[in-house]
């Protein structure tokens, strides 16, 4: 139980270091992941007689866990555009942590409760006209969500049922597999430069892990948004499917991934992602300071204001 409390209160990285006796975040990720799925003493806390259990207490996020299949469905539900506010980011990190701690959970399907928008990315209003302390808190929450999702040992599948700019694209890229509705009106990509802001190194590295260096360099500099077909072409999305089948296709894909023994897949995933995760863990505080300084600049605030005004103009 002590280990369980450490897990919930200090996050997966810290608890895993305790569980494995590893002194530093950088030296224990592989060992940690290989043992993370066996915290049997913590099992009692999440065991339930019902087959489907509702996890999240937030109205902005629903998480339903099916104990029989081991698959959780995480639905973003923050109208109108599922923007990632401080509150939603915090709920996401907590929800992902709970799933990670649940020994019967093996996979998560992430999707949107609202058709047409997967997520509009970070809530721009959280980055405008606020005190520096708020920017620091907000950015820590962005980091935390990324660490939990990118660092998840579970199979993660993004069922992208709408547009997914910037932070929305980041969440999808953190997943192990991406299916997108084949509606040409939808788009996905890291468009930060179009807002006059710069995607930090861990956004870049996440994208490089998915599409490689050249496509990332072009996509980031130009702030490219891709149609679903283009996204498949550059490897940003694994495949498109008819809009009405996105969720069922995600379930079928999940079943394929769950045929692989967890320990072998988890250690492999860890090997692929460890360097990128360690890079952020080693620079967390300086990354927060960089963000807070950058976003507080008058020129950046003006850029964001102009971007939001343009967004509010009636669409042609």
Ligand X SMILES: CC/C=C\C/C=C\C/C=C\C=C\CC(=O)SCCNC(=O)CCNC(=O)[C@H](O)C(C)(C)COP(=O)(O)OP(=O)(O)OC[C@H]1O[C@@H](n2cnc3c(N)ncnc32)[C@H](O)[C@@H]1OP(=O)(O)O
Neighbour-count burial for 14-48, b at 16+ CB within 10 Å, e otherwise: ebbbebbebeebeebbbbbbbbbbebeebeebbee
Asked if 189 is part of the footprint of ligand X (rule: CB under 6 A), the reply reads: no
| DSSP one-letter code for 39 | -
Q: Pick the stretch among 57-65, 76-84, 171-179, 271-279 that binds ligand X (CB under 6 A).
A: 76-84
Q: Is 224 in the active site?
A: no
- Cβ distance 17 to 270 under 8 Å? no
Asked if 192 is part of the footprint of ligand X (rule: CB under 6 A), the reply reads: yes
- Rounded least distance, CB 304 to ligand X, Å: 9
Q: Is 191 in the active site?
A: yes
List, as own/partner pairs, every contact residues 258-261 make where C-beta atoms lie below 8 angstroms and the sequence separation is at least 24, other chains included.
258/70, 258/71, 258/106, 258/107, 258/155
Asked if 200 is part of the footprint of ligand X (rule: CB under 6 A), the reply reads: yes
Q: Considering only CA atoms, which of 270, 235, 238, 267 is closest in space to residue 253?
A: 238
Neighbour-count burial for 198-237, b at 16+ CB within 10 Å, e otherwise: ebbebbbbbbbbbbeeebbeebbeebbbbbbebbbebebb
Member of 23, 80, 129, 261 binding ligand X (CB under 6 A): 80
Member of 105, 122, 224, 288 binding ligand X (CB under 6 A): 122
Q: Pick the stretch among 77-85, 93-101, 237-245, 257-265 that binds ligand X (CB under 6 A).
A: 77-85
Phi-psi region of 42 (alpha: psi -120 to 50; beta: other; left: phi over 0): alpha
Which residue among the candidates 92, 122, 179, 190 is catalytic per the annotation? 122
Asked if 48 is part of the footprint of ligand X (rule: CB under 6 A), the reply reads: no
- Rounded least distance, CB 308 to ligand X, Å: 6
CA gap 245, 249 in Å, rounded = 6
Range 267-296, binding ligand X (CB under 6 A): 290-291, 294-295
Member of 94, 155, 197, 208 binding ligand X (CB under 6 A): 197
Q: Is 167 in the active site?
A: yes
CA gap 98, 146 in Å, rounded = 15
Q: Is 122 in the active site?
A: yes
Member of 22, 32, 88, 117 binding ligand X (CB under 6 A): 117
- Rounded least distance, CB 175 to ligand X, Å: 16
Which spans of this chain sit near ligand X (rule: CB under 6 A)? 80-81, 83, 117, 120-125, 163, 165-167, 191-192, 195, 197-198, 200, 290-291, 294-295, 308, 311-312
Q: Which residues are catalytic?
A: 122, 167, 191-192
């Amino acid at each position: 139980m002590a280990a369980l409390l450490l897990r919930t209160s200090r996050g997966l990285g810290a608890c895993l270091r305790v569980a494995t006796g590893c002194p530093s975040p950088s030296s224990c990720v592989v060992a940690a992941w290989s043992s993370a799925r066996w915290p049997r003493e913590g099992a009692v806390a999440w065991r339930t007689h019902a087959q489907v259990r509702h996890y999240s207490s937030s109205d902005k996020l629903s998480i339903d866990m099916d104990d029989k299949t081991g698959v959780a469905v995480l639905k973003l539900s923050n109208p109108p555009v599922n923007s990632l506010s401080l509150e939603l980011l915090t709920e996401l990190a907590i929800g992902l942590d709970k799933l990670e701690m649940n020994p019967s959970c093996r996979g998560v399907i992430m999707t949107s409760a609202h058709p047409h928008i997967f997520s509009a990315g970070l809530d721009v209003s959280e980055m405008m006209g606020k005190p520096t302390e708020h920017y620091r808190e907000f950015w820590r929450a962005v980091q935390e969500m990324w660490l939990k999702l990118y660092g998840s040992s579970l199979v993660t599948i993004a069922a992208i049922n709408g547009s997914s700019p910037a932070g929305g694209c980041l969440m999808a890229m953190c997943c192990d597999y991406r299916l997108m509705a084949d509606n040409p009106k939808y788009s996905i990509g890291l468009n930060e430069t179009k807002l006059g802001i710069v995607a930090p190194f861990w956004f870049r590295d996440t994208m490089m892990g998915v599409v490689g260096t050249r496509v990332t360099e072009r996509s980031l500099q130009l702030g490219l948004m891709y149609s679903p077909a283009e996204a498949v072409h550059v490897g940003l999305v694994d495949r498109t499917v008819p809009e009405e089948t996105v969720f069922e296709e995600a379930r079928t894909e999940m079943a394929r991934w769950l045929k692989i023994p967890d320990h072998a897949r988890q250690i492999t995933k860890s090997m692929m992602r460890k360097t990128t995760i360690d890079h952020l863990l080693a620079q967390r505080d300086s990354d927060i300071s960089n963000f807070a300084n950058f976003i507080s600049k008058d020129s950046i605030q003006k850029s964001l204001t102009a971007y939001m005004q343009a967004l509010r103009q009636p669409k042609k």
